Amino acid sequence: MGLRLLGLARGPIALASKSPRRRELLGRLEVPHFCVDVDVLEGDLEPGEAPEDYVVRLSRRKLAAARSAAEEGGAYVVLAADTVVVLGDEVLEKPVDKADAARLLGKISGRWHDVWTGIALHRLHDDRILTHAERSRVHIDLGDAETRDAYIETNEPMDKAGAYGIQGFGGLFVPHIEGDYFNVMGLPLAALRALCLRLEADEAR
C-alpha cells in the first residue's frame, strides 16, 4: 500500500543515506526499502553556487555512490537526499563540534532562515534520474546562551544541518514554519511523491 500511495509501481527503494530521520519516514509510510550507507564528500560548495543546486548536486553524488549496492540488493529505485540551512547568503551545514554548534545556533536564533533539501531518484533499469529541490522557511528562537548550551548537551544538534532537529528537542524552539515540515526533517514527502509520479509517468509513455 505504501508504494502505491507514494506513486511507485514497485520496490524496493534503496535509501542512500545515513540519516535516521529519512529511514524513519520511509518506515512510517510502510514503503519497502533498505539502506545503503554512503560516504561522499560534502561541504564543497562552489563559489556562487545556489543552495538549491548544491543540495541536488550532493544528492546525485550519493546516488552514484550507492548504485552498486542498490543493484546487488535488487532495488527498483535509489533515493538520495541532502539538506542544508541557509541564513542570508551563508550555507550552514552540520557542526564539526560543540563549539561550532553553539556558533551556528547563535547565528540563527531569533531569525528566519531557509532549509533546502535536494532529492534525487534513480530508476535502475533504464538509468532515469529525476531531481528536485524543496525550500522551507523556519523561525527558531533558543533564547539565551544557557538554553543553547543545554540543547547542545543533548547531542541532538551534532549531526544536523544548522545544528538543530525540528522533530526532537529543537521543535520546542520553532514557533513558525512556512512550507513542508518534513522538508525540515530532511525528506519532503509531498515533493517525493510528485517525483515518483513523474518517474512512473515517464515509464508509461
* DSSP state letter for 47: T
- 43 within 8 A of 84, measured Cβ to Cβ: no
Length of the chain: 205
Looking at residue 205, its pLDDT comes to: 46
So which residues are the catalytic ones?
82
Cα separation, 107 vs 97, whole angstroms: 16
- 138 within 8 A of 173, measured Cβ to Cβ: no
Q: What is the pTM of this model?
A: 0.92
For range 83-100, the mean pLDDT: 93
Q: Dihedral, CA atoms, 100, 19, 141, 149, nearest 10 degrees?
A: -40
- 82 within 8 A of 55, measured Cβ to Cβ: yes
CA 195, 8, 136, 60 torsion-angle sign: negative
Within 10 A of 28 (CB to CB), how many other CB atoms are there? 10
To 5 degrees, how large is the angle CA 194–CA 57–CA 16? Answer: 65
| Domains of the chain with bracketed CATH | 2-204 (3.90.950.10)
Q: How confident is the model at residue 202 (pLDDT cuts 50, 70, 90)?
A: low
Looking at residue 1, its pLDDT comes to: 73
- Percent of the chain exceeding pLDDT 70 equals 98
Catalogue the E-assigned strands of the chain: 13-16, 33-35, 77-87, 90-92, 111-123, 128-140, 176-178
- The residue type of 84 is V
Distance spanning both ends of the chain, measured CA to CA: 24
pLDDT digits (tens, 9 = 90+) for 146-191: 999 999 999 999 989 999 999 999 999 999 999 999 999 999 999 9
Looking at residue 106, its pLDDT comes to: 94
pLDDT digits (tens, 9 = 90+) for 111-143: 999 999 999 999 999 999 999 999 999 999 998
